[in-house]
């Protein structure tokens, strides 16, 4: 039996901003290896003790290992007698399937992912992608919640939720991640947790656009509240529990992403209000804004399922159909009245 007080061997697969921040935070208590596929970039990160490309200004702890050797990264967190391990995937949704394909046949017994969104081509949630690639032999968990990479790397407090159908894996993630300034809650509603984390990015684009147009705090509050209703409608149709959307990965993540200026998706909305084309906005961000491709996937899914998602449809109209931000607002205000909780 592993010593319950011993540090974990943790591998973080993906050296973007969020993966780097999680590695920094966990390296204070555990043996952490941060892996990235770009050999030159990882060598530069190791030499500088800083991920200047994705998380500049945050020095890596001395004990944090950095590398691009995939085999070594997996070996660091491979199941072993008497050793506590955790394998974390910190790639965007678009990179999850290719990463999982790399894990086929490898000596792993679990995977925890940090990405939020629907797979763009299939409309699948991350846990469904994992099942499609790896089947039932591997346990999976989603670690999600209101969290900006810069604040986590700085050591500021945050609270997260781990969702998994495997109680042992939930307990393993809590044991590894909960501590210091990070609180971790557990639940088994993977659909609810993943839908909340995905759709809130679309709504952050809407609130960013409204704020960029100077529509005021009343409009922002209305968008957030009605956005939560959209998340709940879609999430419950897909099998999530309504109560999940009132928690950290629903309301909590929605509030943070819609109001915090560190949110890339909110910044997309602010730029749309300035009349910038989407290609320019994405280039200027230099990072993935998951709400952009997610808007296309969720609009298609909502149409297929017959779920009313007017804010999502309006955002997708601006992003992909040539509508402008003012037209988005006009479209939303012109909707017929309805019962609030219907």
Q: What is the pLDDT of residues 208-228, one digit of tens each?
A: 999 999 999 999 999 999 999
**pLDDT of residue 287 exceeding 80:** no
Percent of the chain surpassing pLDDT 70: 99
DSSP string computed for 91-118 = S-HHHHHHHHHHHTTSS-SEEEE---S-
Q: Edge-to-edge, what's the strand order for the sheet holding 85-89?
A: 65-67, 31-35, 9-13, 85-89, 110-113, 139-144, 158-163, 182-187
Q: What is the reported pLDDT for 286?
A: 80
Instruction: Please state, in angstroms and as integers, the Cα–Cα distance from residue 40 to each residue in 44, 95, 163, following that order.
Output: 6, 19, 35
CA dist 151 → 160, 183, 184, 239, 331 (Å):
13, 14, 16, 32, 36
Q: Which residue has the tokens 């957030």?
A: 224
Q: Where are the alpha helices (DSSP H) in 239-324?
A: 253-259, 264-273, 278-285, 291-305, 310-320
Domains and CATH numbers, the chain: 9-188 (3.40.50.720), 197-333 (1.10.1040.10)
Backbone angles phi, psi at 167, to 5 degrees: -60, -35
- The percentage of residues in the chain with a pLDDT greater than 90, rounded to a whole number, is 87
pLDDT over 80 at 166, yes or no: yes
Catalytic-labelled residue, pool 59, 200, 276, 304: 200
Q: What does residue 279 show for φ and ψ, rounded to 5 degrees?
A: -60, -40
pLDDT band, residue 96 (cuts 50/70/90):
very high
Find all residues with CB under 8 Å of 335, minimum gap 6, and list them: 310
Would the pTM of this model clear 0.85, i.e. be above it?
yes
pLDDT tens digits, 249-260: 999 999 999 999
Residue 288 has pLDDT above 80, yes or no: no
Residues 12-17 have a mean pLDDT of 97
Instruction: State residue 276 phi and psi, 5-degree precision.
Output: -75, 140
- Asked whether the predicted pLDDT for residue 342 surpasses 70, the reply is no
Inform me whether the pLDDT recorded for 135 exceeds 70.
Answer: yes
- Say yes or no to pLDDT of 1 above 70: no
Range name among 46-50, 63-67, 337-341 with the lowest pLDDT average: 337-341
pLDDT higher than threshold 90 for residue 339 = no
Q: Does residue 104 have an active-site annotation? A: no
Report d(CA 226, CA 228) in Å as an integer: 5
Which residue did the predictor score with more confidence, 338 or 315?
315
């Amino acid at each position: 039996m592993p010593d319950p007080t011993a540090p974990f061997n943790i591998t973080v697969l993906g050296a973007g901003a969020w993966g780097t921040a999680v590695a920094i935070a966990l390296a204070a208590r555990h043996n952490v290896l941060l892996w990235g596929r770009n050999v030159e970039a990882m060598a530069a990160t190791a030499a500088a003790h800083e991920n200047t490309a994705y998380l500049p200004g945050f020095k890596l702890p001395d004990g944090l290992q950095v590398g691009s050797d995939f085999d070594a990264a997996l070996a660091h967190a491979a199941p072993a007698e008497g050793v506590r391990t955790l394998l974390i995937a910190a790639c965007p949704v678009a990179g999850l399937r290719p990463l999982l394909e790399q894990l086929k046949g490898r000596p792993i017994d679990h995977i925890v992912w940090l990405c939020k969104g629907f797979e763009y081509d299939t409309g699948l949630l991350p846990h469904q992608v994992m099942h499609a690639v790896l089947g039932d032999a591997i346990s999976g968990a989603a670690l999600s919640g209101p969290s900006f990479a810069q604040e986590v790397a700085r050591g500021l407090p945050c609270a997260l939720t781990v969702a998994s159908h495997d109680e042992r894996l939930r307990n393993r993630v809590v044991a590894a991640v909960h501590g210091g300034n990070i609180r971790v809650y557990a639940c088994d509603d993977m659909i609810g947790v993943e839908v909340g984390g995905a759709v809130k990015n679309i709504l952050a684009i809407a609130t960013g656009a409204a704020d960029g147009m100077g529509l005021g705090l009343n409009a922002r509050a209305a968008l957030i509240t009605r956005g939560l209703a959209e998340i709940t409608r879609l999430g419950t149709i897909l099998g999530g529990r309504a109560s999940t959307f009132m928690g950290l990965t629903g309301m909590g993540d929605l509030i943070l992403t819609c109001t915090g200026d560190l949110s890339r998706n909110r910044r997309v909305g602010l730029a749309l209000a300035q009349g910038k084309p989407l290609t320019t906005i994405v280039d200027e961000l230099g990072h993935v804004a998951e709400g952009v491709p997610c808007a296309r996937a969720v609009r298609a899914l909502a149409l297929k399922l017959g779920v009313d998602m007017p804010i999502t449809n309006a955002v997708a109209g601006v992003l992909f159909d040539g509508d402008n931000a003012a037209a988005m607002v006009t479209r939303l205000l012109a909707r017929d009245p309805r019962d609030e909780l219907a």
